[in-house]
């Protein structure tokens, strides 16, 4: 009874990892989970307090608005003005989302026709592809390779694909490679997209998670034909709350707003109020970054001690770690799952697709720096004993 489209999708990569975790736990093995990018640190208290207050205030508010309350959209505009000096009209250039996953998956439905191509990174966040397939588009996956510093090589995309391409997905700060995009790269991407009449969908959900240089948003360069996807999940440890927003070109936002009421009925008001408070504060985000720096250093030091090739991330909370020679990503991930180590990582192969007999994730595993500091220290001790 399953539909052809659903059947055509691989099992969601992280669902496979969750199965592995359950199996190990059922054997009583203590695991440290670097798999899914789901921060274990609590949502800051001032955000939780704002939500509690808002529950009573909205006792009889009924359904929330489809595209976010005026207050939420204004706070989004203030945040992006303060952070990036971007001017956005809360009425026409911003819409709330139920986290960026919903928006990323549904967006192609709003703008593509069957047979249109959607360009996306490989490795990349799975809903770029599944959303395209459900909208009857054709995914074209460009590889992120170390020789290109994990940026797309636009010159390699075939002309016949470009002729029918409608969306270019970009994701910087990048999961899983930890790369930050420069102004120069965005200018090049914008020029390329303009030339081929493609709109840019820029997934910026890790914009505030970085180690040194603050990443820029593509909207700092232009809004024309560009929509950016943002999330409270990583910035404010709010993965469980489900709230994000899209912003950019008013025509694209209007089209997105036309789609959205057909699918959902908006983000609960109390969550929007809490998220508005979160967007007004930068201190908790700085604290979060300080913690990620410590976690990253501990883990990279452990990698150095066992002579793994070091790849310093610039942003996000991921380390895209090259596996030792003679291992594939799955083999190395399995080695880390040995009962005396008990570390879960995401094998690069599971979040990359094999195209023309080549899988760009095969030599990498992804560590998400989401376990607690104590757990990461314990993981580092175990890793240092690893013979590879
Ligand atoms: C690249 C990327 N985009 C979007 C998301 C979705 O985040 P959320 O739906 O929690 O906003 C994630 C989550 O891990 C992600 O890694």
C-alpha 90 to ligand 1 mean position (Å): 23
Pairing mode of beta strands 318-322, 343-344: unpaired
Q: What is residue 268's predicted lDDT score, i.e. its pLDDT?
A: 96
Q: How many Å lie between the centroid of ligand 1 and the Cα of residue 205?
A: 6
Atom of ligand 1 nearest to the CA of 125: 1
CA 100 – ligand 1 centroid, Å:
6
What's the first-to-final CA gap in the chain, in angstroms? 46
On whether the CB atoms of residues 344 and 34 are closer than 8 A, the answer is yes
Class of domain 61-281: alpha beta
Identify the weakest region by mean pLDDT among 10-19, 76-85, 170-179, 326-335. Answer: 10-19
DSSP strands (E only) in 18-111? 32-33, 94-97
Q: Is the pLDDT of residue 11 over 90?
A: no
Strand spans (E) along 232-356:
244-248, 318-322, 343-344, 346-347
Interval 357-367 mean pLDDT: 95
Q: Which distant-in-sequence residues (6+ apart) come within 8 Å of 21 by Cβ?
A: 31, 33, 35, 344
Q: How far is CA 213 from the centre of its chain?
A: 19
Average pLDDT, the chain: 94
Closest atom of ligand 1 to CA, residue 102: 9
pLDDT higher than 70, residue 27: yes
Mutation pick for ligand 1 pocket among 231, 247, 275 (CB with most ligand atoms within 8 Å): 231
Distance CA 378, CA 383 (A): 9
CA 38 to ligand 1: nearest atom: 14
Enumerate the CATH 3.40.640.10 domain ranges in the chain, comma separated: 61-281
The 10s digit of each residue's pLDDT in 73-132 is 999 999 999 999 999 999 999 999 999 999 999 999 999 999 999 999 999 999 999 999
pLDDT digits (tens, 9 = 90+) for 140-188: 999 999 999 999 999 999 999 999 999 999 999 999 999 999 999 999 9
Q: How far is the CA of 37 from the centre of ligand 1 (A)?
A: 8
Phi/psi for 120 (5° steps) reads -150, 155
How confident is the model at residue 306, as a pLDDT?
92
Looking at the chain, the domain(s) classified CATH 3.90.1150.10 span 4-43+284-384
Pick the CATH number of 4-43+284-384 from 1.10.10.10, 3.90.1150.10, 3.20.20.140, 1.10.238.10: 3.90.1150.10
* 230 in Cβ contact with 205 (< 8 Å): yes
The per-residue pLDDT for 63 is 93
Which ligand 1 atom sits closest to the C-alpha of 231?
11
Phi, psi dihedral angles at 102 (to 5 degrees): -55, -45
Residue 152 C-alpha to ligand 1 middle, in angstroms? Answer: 20
Give residues (CB < 6 A) around ligand 1: 37, 99-101, 104, 125, 171, 175, 203, 205, 231, 233, 239, 244
Instruction: Report the separation in Å between the CA atom of 210 and the middle of ligand 1, taken as the mean of its atom positions.
Output: 16
pTM: 0.95
């Amino acid at each position: 009874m399953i539909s052809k489209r659903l059947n055509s999708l691989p099992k969601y990569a992280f669902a496979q990892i969750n199965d592995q975790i359950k199996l190990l736990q059922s054997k009583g093995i203590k695991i440290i989970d670097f798999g899914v990018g789901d921060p274990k640190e609590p949502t800051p208290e001032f955000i939780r307090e704002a939500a509690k207050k808002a529950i009573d205030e909205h006792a009889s508010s009924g359904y929330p608005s489809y595209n976010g309350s005026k207050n939420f959209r204004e706070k989004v505009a203030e945040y992006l003005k303060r952070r990036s000096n971007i001017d956005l009209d809360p009425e026409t250039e911003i819409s709330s989302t139920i986290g960026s996953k919903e928006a990323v998956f549904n967006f192609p439905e709003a703008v593509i026709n069957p047979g249109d191509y959607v360009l996306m990174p490989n490795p990349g966040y799975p809903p770029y592809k599944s959303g395209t397939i459900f909208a009857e588009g054709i995914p074209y996956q460009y590889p992120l390779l170390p020789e290109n510093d994990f940026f797309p090589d636009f010159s390699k995309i075939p002309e016949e694909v470009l002729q029918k391409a409608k969306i270019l997905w970009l994701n910087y700060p990048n999961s899983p490679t930890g790369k930050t995009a420069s102004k120069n790269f965005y200018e090049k991407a914008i020029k390329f997209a303009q030339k081929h009449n493609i709109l840019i969908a820029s997934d910026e959900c890790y914009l505030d998670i970085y180690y040194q240089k603050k990443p820029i948003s593509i909207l700092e360069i232009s809004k024309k034909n560009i929509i950016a996807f943002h999330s409270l999940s990583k910035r404010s440890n709010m993965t469980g709350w489900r709230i994000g927003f899209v912003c950019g070109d008013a025509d694209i936002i209007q089209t997105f707003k036309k789609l959205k009421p057909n699918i959902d009925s908006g983000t609960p008001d109390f969550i929007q109020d809490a998220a508005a408070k979160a967007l007004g504060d930068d201190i908790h985000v700085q604290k979060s970054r300080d913690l990620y720096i410590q976690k990253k250093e501990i883990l990279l030091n452990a990698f150095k001690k066992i002579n793994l090739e070091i790849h310093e991330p610039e942003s996000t909370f991921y380390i895209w770690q090259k596996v030792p020679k003679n291992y594939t990503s799955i083999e190395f991930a399995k080695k880390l799952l040995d009962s005396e180590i008990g570390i879960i990582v995401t094998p690069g192969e599971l979040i990359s697709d094999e195209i023309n007999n080549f899988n760009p994730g095969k030599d990498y595993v992804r560590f998400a720096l989401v376990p607690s500091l104590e757990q990461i220290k314990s993981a580092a001790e175990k890793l240092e004993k690893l013979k590879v």
